[in-house]
A and B are shown apart, each in its own frame.
Chain A
Amino acid sequence: MNCRVNIDTYRCNSCETCVVICPEVFRMNPALEKAEPISDTATCSESLERAVAMCPEKCIELERV
């Protein structure tokens, strides 16, 4: 199953928690210094859901597609 990954970059505090937990889906945007999904959709996985759950700002949303 795939998910669309949405990040509210206004709320993202650049902590990199999502990048550490799920580097196959998230990366840091060097210009914005915010997290961003590597692609619009990603395979739903335990690490992806954990990254969403552990985000301190709760600014990542998954939409099943």
Chain B
Amino acid sequence: MALLTWQDKYSVGIKQIDDQHKQLINMINELNDAMLAGKGKEALMPVLTKLANYCVSHFGVEEKLFDTHGYPETADHKDKHNKMTTKVKALIGEVQSGKSTISIEVMNFLKNWLDKHIMETDKKYGPFLNSKGIS
């Protein structure tokens, strides 16, 4: 059974972004399932590789919308994206170095991403972009 399922409360009011955020939930569930099966370590690199690609594509889409429509909190939001991308690269480095605590660390990082970044930071731009005709 999936740990997390998509709920309307996660929506930022923009379908393309919501669809991309659903991919993050899928990654959390994938890692959770692997950990329950005792295969957390084996699942880490595939999940982190997806996450690194996700950072590039998803953050790129958001930042292009910010730049196009003059979102006033662009600089702060981009700074958060840069920090998250740096963290993902650091986690990949830790996996490659064999740090054993990493499965639960990655799981907590992803859940924090959902709870803090999407539920708080991303939610701020929804009404602004909606007002620009993006939905």
Contacts and interface: CB of A to CB of B under 8 A. Distances in A.
Chain A contact residues (Cβ within 8 angstroms of B): what range?
Answer: 10 to 19
A15 B35 CA distance: 12
Contact of B104 (A13, A14, A15, A53): A15
Contacts, number: 32
A56 B102 CA distance: 11
Please indicate which of the listed interface residues A15, A55, A57 has the most CB atoms of chain B within 10 Å of its own CB: A15
Interface in B29-43: 35-36, 38, 40-41
**Majority DSSP secondary structure for residues of A touching B:** loop
Interface in A17-64: 17, 20-21, 53-58
Contacts of B35: 17, 54, 56
Contact of B38 (A14, A16, A58): A58
Interface of B: 35-36, 38, 40-41, 100-101, 103-105, 108
